[in-house]
Amino acid sequence: MLSKKLISFSRGGLSTEFIKHIDSTHNLCIYKLGAHYIPDSVIFPKANSITLINCNSVGILNIVTPTVFPNLSKVNYLSTDPGDFKIYERFNDKIKWIFPNKTYEFYDFMVKTGRGKKDSQLIKKYVANKRIIDGKNGFDISFDFDLNIPGFGITNGEWWRSQFYEYLVNKQNIIKSKDCIYPGEASQIQDDEETILQKEYVKSSIDKLYFDYIINKEE
């Protein structure tokens, strides 16, 4: 079971510009959200749209809720299967679900049932650049993305992902400041968290195969 304590792995800290943007934006972009615990204090009342880019299915189910997004009206969905096709039931029928112009089971289901539509320009709106990263000995090739964040500009995807994670850590610590972690406890929690992240990597590697297909140049 995933620990309900988020451990900070960042050395650079949380950007004040990032905080300012994420607390005021009407379109919250989330990139590569993992299967993380979402603190109860996380809420985005100003966001009426969310853009989910290559997010983990558990992470999507954890964060796409009326509690976190009380005024949601639109979901730009650039991720793989959320694990629950009925995720739309959490919101009213007025929510617009927008998908890339690709053939994919979840996308097709939402379109055929009249709950979503496909946009051939969706990927181009949010993925500014894709760079190939060669793995060891030419194997394990992956991609690094620059994202086009509305109201913020073009930024490195990994930086954006890590900032959002640190934002969650910060929100957790504000509420749980009295819940001290004593020497020895932190390392055990971090070990548990890292073990789960390693297991999550196996599934995310499989999911990435589908995501790479989704973000390939649209016809």
Ranges of each domain in the chain: 16-215
What's the rounded mean pLDDT across residues 129-134? 72
- Judge whether residue 52 has pLDDT over 70: yes
Comparing 132 with 181, which gets the higher pLDDT?
132
The pLDDT confidence band at residue 186, using thresholds 50, 70 and 90, is very low
Between residues 141 and 156, which one has the greater pLDDT?
Answer: 156
Asked if 73 and 50 count as a contact pair (C-beta separation under 8 A), the reply is no
Q: Which pLDDT does position 10 carry in this prediction?
A: 52
Q: What's the pLDDT at 37?
A: 83
Q: What is the mean pLDDT of the chain?
A: 80
Per residue in 54-87, pLDDT (tens digit) is 999 999 999 999 999 999 999 999 998 898 999 9
Distance of alpha carbon 68 from alpha carbon 66, whole angstroms:
6
Please state, in angstroms and rounded to a whole number, the distance separating the CA atoms of residues 38 and 62.
7
Please say whether the beta carbons of 115 and 105 come within 8 A: no
pLDDT the model gives residue 163: 95
pLDDT band at 176 (very low <50, low <70, confident <90, very high): low
Q: Environment class of residue 8 by beta-carbon count within 10 Å: exposed (0-12), middle (13-18) or buried (19+)?
A: middle
